[in-house]
């Protein structure tokens, strides 16, 4: 990152802070980056013709969904999102397809992690054994 | 004065985050009435925050009581960042929480979550 | 002498470690699970008699109970019982009837779910009904909505007064395994909203989600099939499971698939001793 960019960002940070916007939490990092990527994808001029990227994103989403399902961790809307992504691709809107597929892929990963984290049953503390 | 020191803290936080190379600002919205109104709408809507499912909020109807009433939030959460972290993933503080992980599990987008935090913090 | 307290401490530490190790290596028995489970509800609702839990949320919600009792005066499930009786009596294309499969029917709801050693799986009443139909050359019925609920309503009505008594036979370890799987299902968080069944019905029964009171897990299986005002019709237990899973934004499992049958096995076992009172009516 060059100095100019950094200064610009610092200013932006200060402006936002002065405006009273809350700024925080390390957890925030990952998601906004993803959002930014989505936005970039949506705005990029060649993206509407980028069918290959959309197909790849849908394939990645589908494999994440299947992986979650393999441990009984699939979420309700993941499959629907993938179907919508496929429809968007068919309709020629690959940017929308990528956005939906990325969301679905994230859900697949989270559902898998959620199930894996509970592989061994831990009885809740409100049950007094 | 309270406002001023909050701002100063925010500036420091922003600077620290930038210097740490992990700038995390999505949209530069001012906490004006519009943001609070949007935050409130998101907090009340069943498909979004649905805070009322479990929390009593002044002005909200048919509220549940699984979680504590949302009031005196500035006293309970002097640091807005802590409130945000709690809504983002409440299981960090309590593994047996009955509260959904609104940020971690993507129930609310990061920018919507910001608005909800702004609104909840006024309660 | 100086060392005695130290030795005692050491000894008790060793004993504690041993006890923990033992506890960790041994799963609690289903009997123990049930005891702890029931204690949870006793502790939370000390004034509610055990038998009352067969009435679901109305055991703990006096306001809801009033309208429920009014509804029960003209039960919305009555027509389904009548249609179910017709189904029970009507001969299949081959001239036989359900009675040829279920000699001790129609009051047989309390015999399900049970461990079917031959098929190596939990047998539920809807599944048994369809196996009967297929053995008689009939098409199976759908498991969530539709006419299966008619015959289930009739059988439930004829079984009223029987007592829940799920057995986990010790001569087949697969039965205990099925129970354990059902138990794990009940306590596992799932879906985007990250709820386990237990989060609402064991951790928070009696609390309100919006204006609806969460029902206690104890007694949840006694009244199926159930007429739900929300559905505007009657539905099976597995339809209800499906609805719960969807509400927490998890992908539901197949009705009468292994997951839900094991879940039914565990959940019904937890209500052992409670009187069957289906079909039921709920909000």
Q: Specify the higher pLDDT residue, B71 or B9.
A: B71
Q: Is 70 exceeded by the pLDDT of residue C93?
A: yes
Contact B10 A17 (CB under 8 A): yes
Of residues B66, B91, B105, nearest to C192 (C-beta): B105
Work out the number of other CB atoms within 10 angstroms of the CB of residue C130: 19
Domain with CATH 1.10.760.10 in chain C: 29-76+169-282, 78-158
- B-chain CB neighbours of C214 within 8 Å are 66
Confidence at residue C27, expressed as pLDDT on a 0 to 100 scale: 83
Chains that touch B (3 or more CB pairs under 8 A): A, C
What pLDDT is recorded for position B32? Answer: 86
A23/B109 CB distance under 8 A: no
CB contact under 8 A, C188 and A118: yes
At C156-184, the pLDDT tens digits run 999 999 999 999 999 999 999 999 999 99
Shortest Cα distance from C249 to chain B (angstroms)? 10
Evaluate if residue C4 carries a pLDDT over 60: no
Q: Beta strand C280-282 with C226-228: parallel, antiparallel or unpaired?
A: parallel
φ and ψ at residue C96, rounded to 5 degrees: -85, 170
CA distance A33 to chain C (A): 21
Q: What's the structural domain count of chain A? A: 1
- Per-residue pLDDT for B63 more than 50? yes
Does the pLDDT of residue A27 top 50, yes or no?
no
Q: Is C244 a catalytic residue?
A: yes
Residue ranges per structural domain of chain B? 28-121
Reply yes or no on whether the pLDDT at C246 is more than 90: yes
Partners of residue C235 on adjacent β-strands:
C226
C→A contacts (Cβ < 8 Å), by residue, are: 23, 28, 32, 36-37, 39-40, 183-184, 187-192, 194, 198, 202-203, 245-246, 249-253, 259
The CATH number of domain C29-76+169-282 is 2.40.50.180: no
- Section C214-234 average pLDDT: 97
User: Is residue A19 included in any domain, yes or no?
Assistant: no
Contact C180, C258 (CB under 8 A): no
CATH superfamily to which C78-158 belongs: Cytochrome c-like domain (1.10.760.10)
Q: Do C209 and B101 touch (CB under 8 A)?
A: no
Whether residue A13 is contained in a domain is answered as: no
Residue of C101, C132, C200, C244 with catalytic role: C244
Domain that holds residue A66: 48-117
User: Among candidates A63, A85, A83, which has minimal Cα distance to A74?
Assistant: A63
The span from the CA of C231 to the CA of B25, in Å, is 45
Q: Sheet containing C226-228: give its strands across.
A: C233-235, C226-228, C280-282
3-state secondary structure A52-65: HHHHHHHHHHHHHH
Residue C103's pLDDT band (cuts 50, 70, 90): very high
Would you call C210 and B62 a contact, using CB atoms and an 8 Å cutoff?
yes
Instruction: Say what angle helices C78-89 and C148-158 make with each other, to 10 degrees.
Output: 100
Rounded to the nearest 5 percent, the helix, strand and coil shares of chain C are 50, 10, 40
B95 lies within 8 A of chain C by CB: no
Answer whether residue C137 shows pLDDT above 80.
Answer: yes
Alpha carbons within 13 A on the beta-carbon side of A89: 21
Class of domain B28-121: mainly alpha
Cα B2 from Cα B10, distance rounded (Å): 12
Of C32, C194, C249, which is closest to A76 when you measure between CB atoms? C249
Rounded to whole angstroms, the Cα distance separating A65 from A82 reads 9
Q: Is the peptide bond before C34 cis (omega within 30 degrees of 0)?
A: no
Least-confidence region, from A78-92, B39-53, C25-39:
C25-39
- Predicted confidence at residue C12, as pLDDT, reads 54
Q: Across the interface, which of B54, B101, B105 has its CB nearest the CB of C209?
A: B54
Chain A residue numbers with beta carbons less than 8 Å from the beta carbon of B118 are: 22
Q: Which residues contact C262 (CB under 8 A, 6 or more apart)?
A: C122, C178, C179, C181, C182, C185
For residue A35, is it within any domain? no
Chain-centroid distance of CA C122 in Å reads 13
């Amino acid at each position: 990152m060059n100095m100019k960019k950094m200064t610009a960002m610092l200013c932006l940070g200060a402006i936002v802070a002065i405006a009273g916007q809350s700024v925080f939490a390390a957890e925030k990092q990952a998601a906004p980056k993803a959002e930014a990527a989505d936005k970039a994808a949506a705005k990029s001029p060649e993206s509407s013709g980028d069918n290959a990227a959309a197909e790849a994103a849908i394939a990645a989403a589908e494999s994440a969904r299947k992986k979650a399902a393999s441990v009984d961790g699939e979420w309700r809307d993941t499959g629907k999102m993938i179907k919508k992504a496929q429809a968007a691709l068919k309709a020629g809107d690959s940017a929308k397809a990528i956005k939906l597929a990325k969301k679905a892929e994230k859900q697949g990963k989270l559902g898998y992690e959620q199930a894996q984290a509970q592989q061994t049953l831990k009885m809740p503390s409100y049950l007094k054994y | 004065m309270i406002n001023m020191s909050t701002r100063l803290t925010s500036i420091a936080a922003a600077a620290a985050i930038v210097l740490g190379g992990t700038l995390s600002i999505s949209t530069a919205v001012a906490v004006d009435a519009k943001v609070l109104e949007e935050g409130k709408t998101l907090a009340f809507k069943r498909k979004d925050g649905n805070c009322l499912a479990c929390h009593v909020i002044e002005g909200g109807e048919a509220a549940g009581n699984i979680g504590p009433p949302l009031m005196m939030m500035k006293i309970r959460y002097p640091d807005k960042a802590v409130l945000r972290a709690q809504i983002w993933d409440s299981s960090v503080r309590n593994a047996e929480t009955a509260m959904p992980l609104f940020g971690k599990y993507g129930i609310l987008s990061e920018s919507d979550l910001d608005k909800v935090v702004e609104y909840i913090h006024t309660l | 002498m100086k060392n005695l307290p130290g030795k005692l401490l050491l000894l008790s530490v060793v004993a504690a470690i041993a006890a923990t190790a033992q506890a960790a290596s041994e799963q609690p028995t289903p009997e123990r699970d049930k005891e702890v489970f029931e204690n949870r509800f006793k502790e939370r609702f000390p004034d509610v008699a055990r038998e009352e839990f067969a009435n679901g949320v109305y055991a703990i919600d006096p306001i809801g109970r009033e309208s429920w009792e009014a509804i029960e005066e003209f039960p919305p499930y009555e027509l389904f019982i009548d249609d179910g009786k017709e189904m029970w009596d009507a001969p299949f294309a081959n001239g036989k009837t359900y009675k040829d499969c279920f000699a001790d029917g129609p009051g047989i709801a309390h015999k399900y779910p049970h461990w079917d050693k031959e098929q190596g799986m939990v047998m539920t009443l809807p599944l048994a009904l369809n196996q009967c139909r297929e053995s008689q050359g009939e098409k199976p019925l759908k498991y969530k909505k539709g006419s299966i609920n008619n015959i289930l309503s009739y059988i439930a009505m004829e079984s009223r007064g029987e007592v829940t008594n799920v057995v986990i036979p010790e001569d087949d370890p697969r039965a205990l395994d099925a129970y354990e799987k059902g138990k794990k299902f009940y306590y596992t968080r799932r879906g985007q909203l990250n709820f386990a069944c237990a989060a609402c019905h064991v951790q928070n029964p009696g609390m309100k989600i919006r204006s609806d009171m969460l029902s206690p897990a104890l007694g949840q299986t006694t009244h199926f099939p159930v007429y739900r005002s929300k559905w505007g019709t009657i539905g099976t237990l597995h339809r209800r499971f499906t609805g719960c899973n969807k509400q927490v934004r998890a992908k539901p499992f197949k009705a009468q698939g292994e997951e839900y049958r094991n879940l039914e096995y565990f959940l019904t076992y937890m209500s052992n001793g409670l009187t069957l009172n289906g079909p039921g009516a709920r909000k």
